Structure 1
């Protein structure tokens, strides 16, 4: 749901009735991840997607019905030989969808409105709702803030609220979206309830070092992928708004000094495009020791070998060097800045998703992969995601 927060927040501000269908569980080759959403307003306007087209019609009907009768519903869609092209997922996967009606008089509308406002504004918060359980609890929601305060509740059950808030806050800290189970009394015993959590965290950072033409193209690609893009260069004549209109932030500073003082996390991507040893070596000494998602550096193979030699001399270990993607990018035969940016962006996506970078034709590799550890946030704290 939070993936379409901007549009839904506008609907709230305009006072529209609407119902939102959210993917809460997936299996197999499902086309959209948990959290993907489709919403329908009282006039039949549709935004978002839960399946890339396979079951949109059936989900639309569920939203219309939920809006009419005010009752949440959970529905499972999967592949079937008889009905694959009607309401089945022809890709062979399974998705489970929770449909929540949010008319202007809905009792939980204020909680959802606050969650949508936070996500649309780039804030940090997580909303947990009952995705499986007794009918009187289905769809009940609680909004949890980073400090542990919360809004709403799960049916007037304080123990359940406390447990839900604690678990949800932990998922928010890790930037995770997904389900967990508790019992209706808030313990880990008894008949379980399934709660679905959506976390809203600021977009991940892409920091591009070196204000060159390739960096301008990469900044555009980074924005397209949903990153907050910073371009850093020590030369003020090159790091200008006229040259980098798409960048969220321009920094004039020595790259290694800036990296030492700025915030990074497990989702941060660092792209070193300077291919100048006086910038690269001190910068990569810092970058390769940070717990970030990706470190890549531009340059020819000769530049790469010389850079690795200099880094070893500076004390960078072999284990740290193994983290360096260099020469940066996948082999696409790229020539232009735009093609090179596409090559770099493709490698970043492959590293994030666990892809191989080989053509899908004839590869036998799964098209839709399980979320990586870094993406789920199981390891280190992390989007609005891309």
Structure 2
């Protein structure tokens, strides 16, 4: 639900009633991951997506029904060999979807509104909602913020809120979205509850070093992928807002000095496009020792070998060099800045998701590398798991 927070925040501010369908769990080749959402307001306007098209129509009708009767439901869609024309995922996957009404009088609305507002403003927050368990708890929500403050709750055993808050905070720290199973009294005792925990953290960073034409195209690609993009170059004549209007930040500074003082984390990607030794060597010496997700450097094969030799001379180890993606990007035969940016972006996605970079038409690997395990034998192609008035 937090993935469409900006639109839903506007609906809340306008006083609209709506229902939101959120992906809870997936198996097989389901196209969307947990947390993806589709919302429908009282006028029938829809935003978001839960399946890329396979079951949107059926989920839309579930949202309309939830607005009418106020019932929260958990629905499973899948592919059935016995009924191949039934509403389901033609790709062969299984997807569980929680449908929750968010009407003016609903007790969970203030909590959901706070979570949506935080996500829309780029603030970190995590939202836990009961998706399976006692009828009186379905749809209840708890919001947890990075400072440990929380809002909402489940109205049951006091240990339940405390335990869920702690587990939700752990999900937020890791930036994870997924399900959590716990007893209704906050332990492994009592009837089991299943909760969906959605985390929303600030956008990951992409730092592009070198204010060249290729960098301009890469900035656009990075923004398209959802990164907060910084361009850094020591030359003020090139590092300008006019040349990089879509960058979130422009730093006129020696690259290694900027990297020394700026904040990075395990999601940060560093793209070195300067291919000039006086910039590259001190920058890469530092970058390859930081706990970032990706370090890539532009240059020809000759530049790559010369740069590696210079890095070894300043003490960079072979293990550190192994982290360097150089020459940067996948082999797409790219020529133009836009094509080169696409090859770099593709390598970043492959590194993040564990992809091989080979054509899917000739591969025998899963399309979605980070998908949840497939459901076991006997999984129903579609069933209603629970509902509450």
Structure-2-length-normalised TM-score: 0.94
In the alignment, does 2:136 pair up with 1:159?
no
Tell me, in whole angstroms, the C-alpha distance in 2 between the residues paired with 1:236 and 1:131. Answer: 54
Preserved CA contact (<8 Å) 2:156 2:185: no
The structural deviation recorded for 1:156 is 4.0
Preserved CA contact (<8 Å) 2:268 2:294: yes
The structural deviation recorded for 1:238 is 0.2
* Compared CA separation, residues 251 and 122, structure 1 to 2 (3 A): same
In the alignment, does 2:219 pair up with 1:224?
no
The structural deviation recorded for 1:57 is 1.1
Deviation readout 1:279-332 (Å, 9 max, x if unpaired): 000000110000100000000000000000010111011110000000000001
The structural deviation recorded for 1:133 is 0.6
Alignment match, 1:350:
350
Preserved CA contact (<8 Å) 1:296 1:325: yes
Deviation readout 1:1-43 (Å, 9 max, x if unpaired): 0111110111101110000000010111110000000011001
Query: What runs of 5+ residues in structure 2 fail to find an aligned partner?
Result: 373-389
Tell me, in whole angstroms, the C-alpha distance in 1 between the residues paired with 2:84 and 2:191. Answer: 34
Tell me, in whole angstroms, the C-alpha distance in 1 between the residues paired with 2:298 and 2:200. Answer: 33
In the alignment, does 2:120 pair up with 1:142?
no
The structural deviation recorded for 1:371 is 5.7
The structural deviation recorded for 1:188 is 2.0
Return 348-357 or 149-158, whichever deviates more.
Answer: 149-158
The structural deviation recorded for 1:58 is 1.0
Q: Compute the RMSD of aligned alpha carbons.
A: 1.1
* Compared CA separation, residues 251 and 177, structure 1 to 2 (3 A): same
In the alignment, does 2:282 pair up with 1:282?
yes
Preserved CA contact (<8 Å) 1:23 1:95: yes
- Matches of residues 192-341 of structure 1 in structure 2 within 5 Å? 192-341=192-341
The structural deviation recorded for 1:82 is 4.0
Tell me, in whole angstroms, the C-alpha distance in 2 between the residues paired with 1:234 and 1:192. Answer: 58
Alignment match, 1:361:
361
Preserved CA contact (<8 Å) 2:26 2:371: no
Tell me, in whole angstroms, the C-alpha distance in 1 between the residues paired with 2:23 and 2:137. Answer: 18
- Matches of residues 13-52 of structure 1 in structure 2 within 5 Å? 13-52=13-52
SS in 2 for 1:47: strand
Preserved CA contact (<8 Å) 1:54 1:85: no
The structural deviation recorded for 1:192 is 1.4
Tell me, in whole angstroms, the C-alpha distance in 2 between the residues paired with 1:188 and 1:322. Answer: 44
Tell me, in whole angstroms, the C-alpha distance in 2 between the residues paired with 1:201 and 1:319. Answer: 31
Tell me, in whole angstroms, the C-alpha distance in 1 between the residues paired with 2:293 and 2:258. Answer: 18
Deviation readout 1:201-255 (Å, 9 max, x if unpaired): 0000000000000000000000000000000000000000000001000000000
Poorly superposed stretches of 4+, deviation over 6 Å? none
Query: What runs of 5+ residues in structure 1 fail to find an aligned partner?
Result: 373-386
* Compared CA separation, residues 264 and 339, structure 1 to 2 (3 A): same
Using CA pairs below 8 Å that are at least 6 residues apart, which structure has the higher relative contact order? 2
Preserved CA contact (<8 Å) 2:217 2:341: yes
Preserved CA contact (<8 Å) 1:179 1:197: yes
Tell me, in whole angstroms, the C-alpha distance in 1 between the residues paired with 2:339 and 2:101. Answer: 44
Tell me, in whole angstroms, the C-alpha distance in 1 between the residues paired with 2:19 and 2:280. Answer: 51
The structural deviation recorded for 1:189 is 2.5
Preserved CA contact (<8 Å) 2:28 2:371: no
Preserved CA contact (<8 Å) 2:29 2:371: no
- Matches of residues 61-72 of structure 1 in structure 2 within 5 Å? 61-72=61-72
Preserved CA contact (<8 Å) 1:205 1:268: yes
The structural deviation recorded for 1:362 is 2.3
